[in-house]
Amino acid sequence: MGITKKQKEVFDYIAEYCLVNGYSPTQKEIKDHFGFKSFGSVQKYIKYLTEAGYITCDDWNARRGLTPVKSKVKQATTMATNPSPHYEEIPLLGLVAAGNPIEAMENPSDTISIPAPMIAKPGKYFALRVQGDSMIEDGIFEDDVIVCRHQKTANRGQTVVAVIDGEATVKNYQPKGKTIELHPANERLSPIVLSGGDFNLAGVLIGLIRHYE
């Protein structure tokens, strides 16, 4: 069974993500990466790629249950064995809190290599190293490096880097009327509720990099 160009793009993203991170992207990460309007769109792509023999899906309810079929990942494997043309340098700006906000330490002289497919959409990108544990239920842990696209707006539910009184934090964005709530992904912690003050969005999370040693 053949697949369309867009289906191939989704498959390539899943395969490249698995190669880089050692596990598959979540449906939310796929949705955010491609700008899909609903999880139903993501599930349609997963269903077709599964039926076409490109991926296996161990458990539809598993957050990271997708596995690319090895025979279909020749192109992604070639990219991994010859990475230099397929990686780009982006600024590593310092630290961001995943608990209480801490001062962002900007140092544009520091950079990090990012797989080009991760930052394929037009825009400016930056990376920050996470401190804290407030996003652990979304799979974001201390010392992870998050990759963000710079933008001043976000959709409800997106994971954002927000700057509050000059300090940066990563949270889920939940605007509510005249207030903005920044929700942690840790049941022990409460949202940050903002109704004014020095607040702006610095970017939207589009990926992360994790080292195991």
| Catalytic center residues | 134, 171
Exposure string (b/e) for 17-41, b if CB count within 10 Å is 16 or more? bbbbeeebbbbbbbbbbbebeeeeb
Query: Which one, of 35, 24, 18, lies nearest residue 123 by Cα?
Result: 35
State how far Cα 103 lies from the chain centre: 22
The answer to whether residues 192 and 181 touch, using CB atoms and an 8 Å cutoff, is yes
> Which residue reads 């230099």 in tokens?
84
CA distance 213 to 211: 6
